[in-house]
């Protein structure tokens, strides 16, 4: 098969705060596997980041860091495209068109907006509200059909399909394909280490709630040791995880890092006290994450290395999006001179 016949993937990560184990297991680690039989675009979504205030210097730092994390995790930046969203105008262009396609009622249902806007919705930016329209534009500017994400992005992808369908219907042209979410494995929803009912997140005020990709061995050991558990030993079968959110989460993390089924993890570690399982999990986390962290440090220290990757990615992404934007302009009725 030649490259252009492979299905196309698009996915993104926001450059806000620290990348954590949820981003790695829910998204980036799966991208590394999928790159072998897909043509991929992986985007650092800085336009999405500014839907809430970002310090400019910190945004630049985080943009470089996320790009470095993608490469350090094993994405081939020559075969595939790693770029930052603001460098390709097609995202903002198509997002505007989609702002005019998506309905207020659709956006009002988005649970992530409700969570992020909190009680004072009137004070949220218009960008935060329209966030899913920009996400749809990210994917559809390349007519990508597969989108590997964590479980929390599912609703946004359903909305993207609604937008694509309405655009095609309104213009009477089959411009956009349908998108298939790829939500993989036992760690599609990694939970906070402090509360098994809350998602592990960059915005949690407690750093103890998450494992950052750049945490050193001591930090990882401490966080795992302090991770919330219950007094029972680990069950030996998966059914025994019912109602035990924290135990399920730690087993899911172990399974995600080893590509084992949670049942197989329990066959090996069931009936042991949590202290023994936590020691094994710490070793596994350190062995998995420390090579990534050290490669990130190396890349970030090399003057211009990350910039060169992003520049080349943006150039290729612009070339891929140009004909799609032309098709959209034509379908909408914009005069092309
Ligand atoms: P972001 O930056 O919040 O997260 C990046 C990816 O990590 C996944 N993820 C998790 N997976 C499992 N457990 C968790 N606790 C966890 N936390 C985060 C997310 O599901 C995501 O796959 N809106 C997106 C970025 C985006 C995007 C796109 C994604 C913008 N445009 C187009 C796909 C396609 C976001 O905020 O991801």
**What is the distance between the alpha carbons of residues 85 and 161, in angstroms, rounded to a whole number?**
21
Give the per-residue pLDDT at 293: 97
Three-state DSSP class for residue 10: strand
Which residue owns the Cα nearest ligand 1 atom 5?
A: 13
Measure the CA dihedral 44/47/52/58, to 10°.
50
What fold characterizes domain 3-188+303-332?
Rossmann fold (3.40.50)
Q: Quick check: CB of 209 below 6 Å from ligand 1?
A: no
- For the entire predicted model, the pTM comes to 0.97
Where in the sequence numbering do the catalytic residues fall? Answer: 116, 199, 202
Give the full edge-to-edge strand order of the sheet including 39-44.
81-84, 39-44, 8-13, 146-148, 180-182
Ligand 1, atom 14: closest residue by C-alpha: 22
Cβ of 269 below 6 Å from ligand 1? no
Best probe residue, ligand 1, of 11, 17, 23, 212 (max atoms within 8 Å of C-beta): 23
Residue nearest to atom 7 of ligand 1 (CA): 23
How many A from CA of 208 to the centre of ligand 1?
20
Q: Contact at 8 Å (CB) between 140 and 160?
A: yes
Which of 300, 206, 319, 285 is CA-nearest to residue 25?
A: 285
Q: In the prediction, which pLDDT does 4 show?
A: 57
- C-alpha to C-alpha distance for 159 and 178, rounded to whole angstroms: 11
- pLDDT, tens digit only, all 337 positions of the chain: 455 589 999 999 999 988 999 999 999 999 999 999 999 999 999 999 999 999 999 999 999 999 999 999 999 999 999 999 999 999 999 999 999 999 999 999 999 999 999 999 999 999 999 999 999 999 999 999 999 999 999 999 999 999 999 999 999 999 999 999 999 988 999 999 999 999 999 989 999 999 999 999 999 999 999 999 999 999 999 999 999 999 999 999 999 999 999 999 999 999 999 999 999 999 999 999 999 999 999 999 999 999 999 999 999 999 999 999 999 999 999 998 8
b vs e for 64-82, b when ≥16 Cβ sit within 10 Å of the residue's Cβ? bbbbbbbbbbebebeebbb
Ligand 1 centroid–CA 46 distance in Å is 13
Q: Is 44 in the pocket of ligand 1 (CB under 6 A)?
A: no
The helix/strand/coil state of 147 is strand
Q: Which residues belong to CATH 1.10.240.10 in the chain? A: 207-298
pLDDT confidence of residue 294 = 97
Tell the CATH topology of 207-298: Tyrosyl-Transfer RNA Synthetase (1.10.240)
Cα 332 to averaged position of ligand 1 atoms, centre (Å): 30
Q: What is the pLDDT of residue 249?
A: 97
Task: Outline which parts of the chain fall under CATH 3.40.50.620.
Answer: 3-188+303-332
- Which pLDDT score, from 0 to 100, does residue 92 have? 98
DSSP states along 217-283: HHHHHHHHHHS---SSPPPSSGGGGTT-HHHHHHHHHHHHHHT--HHHHHHHHTTS-HHHHHHHHHH
């Amino acid at each position: 098969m030649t490259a252009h016949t492979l299905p196309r993937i698009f996915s993104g990560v926001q450059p806000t705060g620290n990348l954590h184990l949820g981003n790695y297991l829910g998204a980036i680690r799966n991208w590394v596997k999928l790159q072998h039989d897909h043509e991929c675009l992986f985007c650092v979504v800085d336009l999405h980041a500014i839907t809430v205030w970002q310090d400019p210097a910190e945004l630049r730092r985080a943009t470089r860091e996320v790009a470095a994390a993608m490469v350090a995790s094993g994405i081939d930046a020559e075969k595939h495209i790693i770029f930052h969203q603001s460098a390709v105008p097609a995202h903002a262009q198509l997002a505007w068109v989609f702002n005019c396609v998506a309905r207020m009622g659709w956006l009002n249902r988005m649970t992530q907006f409700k969570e992020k806007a909190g009680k004072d919705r009137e004070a949220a930016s218009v960008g935060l509200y329209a966030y899913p329209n920009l996400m749809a534009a990210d994917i559809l500017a390349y007519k990508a059909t597969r989108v590997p994400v964590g479980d929390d992005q599912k609703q946004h992808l359903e909305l993207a399909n609604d937008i694509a369908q309405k655009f095609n219907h309104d213009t009477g042209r089959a411009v956009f394909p349908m998108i298939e979410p790829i939500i993989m494995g036992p760690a599609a929803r990694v939970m906070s280490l402090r509360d098994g009912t809350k998602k592990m997140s960059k915005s949690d005020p407690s750093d103890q709630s998450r494992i950052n990709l750049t945490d050193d061995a001591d930090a990882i050991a401490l966080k795992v040791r302090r991770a919330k558990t219950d007094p029972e030993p680990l069950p030996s079968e998966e059914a025994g995880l019912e109602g035990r959110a924290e135990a399920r989460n730690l087993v899911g993390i172990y399974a995600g890092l080893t590509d084992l089924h949670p049942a197989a993890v329990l066959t090996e570690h069931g009936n042991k006290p949590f202290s023994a399982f936590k020691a094994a999990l710490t070793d596994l986390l350190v062995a998995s994450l420390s090579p990534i962290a050290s490669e990130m440090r190396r890349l970030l220290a090399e003057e211009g290395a990350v910039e060169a990757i992003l520049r080349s990615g943006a150039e290729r992404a612009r070339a891929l999006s140009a004909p799609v934007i032309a098709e959209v302009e034509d379908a909408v009725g914009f005069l092309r001179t």
